[in-house]
Structure 1
């Protein structure tokens, strides 16, 4: 679906604040409320907008430590991949997971209450996933930027 200039403007505004009213969205994009609603609905139907979420400050809910974890798997054990994928999906501390090139096969963003909490999580990860060859962890010392916004220029 090719995006119009108006679609892109709606996407920018919705990424800034998804609680914006239809009236305000219409006003800020220079269209009628019904037109803004139709465009917004079409963006959702076409899966350009996947879902609307609230961005939560991790530290205010007890997730005090952020880590980047590179996981390297045993390549000769493909039958063990589904349990690892299930573990990724079912583990709430894993905020994001990517299949990557480079040193590791997967890179994870993990939020934990403490280093000890992460250590317990890592022990469970290794116990439940025998195809993990090794993993390396980088502790985030300072967050300089955190966003879910996608550039739509």
Structure 2
């Protein structure tokens, strides 16, 4: 629960989500604070875990990653060993950019980016389906991203 956040902290978080490269001076100008006050607030928000990382958002198409897909995985059996082994696989494959455990029919949801459909097919046929922990794989190819990953509501 975000109990330690005042309206200035929330505004600072919104601004940083929109552009993590903003300098302390730029943030100070927008928040009507001094750069040192903004710096202290940012440091506190980082130390308290509200801000967990900074990264650049890359354009997958410019990188030649023309296929984005979501893959639902149903596990063969639900053992700790199977889960650990499958999670190790998801971390080792760079084309798997996100993995979530789910409730409902599927156990995992994977977000993947590949250079083409053949590469997606190889991932499914040669990597995921043969894995002993996997019972079923259902992939859905993204036709169009209508809303990119948006900032969290702060």
TM-score by length of 2: 0.93
Query: What is residue 129 of structure 2 aligned with on the other side?
Result: 126
Per-residue CA deviations over 1:10-66 (Å, capped at 9, x if unaligned) read 000001111111101011011110000000011111111010111111100011001
Moved over 4 A (4+): none
Distance 1:76 1:3, change over 3 A: closer
Q: Report the more deviating stretch, 143-152 or 25-34.
A: 143-152
1:144 matches 2:146: yes
Whether contact under 8 Å (2:129, 2:137) holds in the other structure is: no
Whether contact under 8 Å (2:128, 2:137) holds in the other structure is: no
Query: What is residue 16 of structure 2 aligned with on the other side?
Result: 14
Per-residue CA deviations over 1:76-107 (Å, capped at 9, x if unaligned) read 54422211111111211111111011220011
Deviation of residue 3 (structure 1)?
0.9
Deviation of residue 148 (structure 1)?
4.7
Whether contact under 8 Å (2:129, 2:135) holds in the other structure is: no
The alignment partner of 1:58 has SS state of coil
1:46 matches 2:48: yes
Mapping of residues 1-153 of structure 1, within 5 Å: 2-122=4-124, 123-127=126-130, 129-152=131-154
RMSD over aligned Cα, in angstroms?
1.2
CA distance, structure 2, for counterparts of residue 74 and residue 148 of structure 1? 34
TM-score by length of 1: 0.93
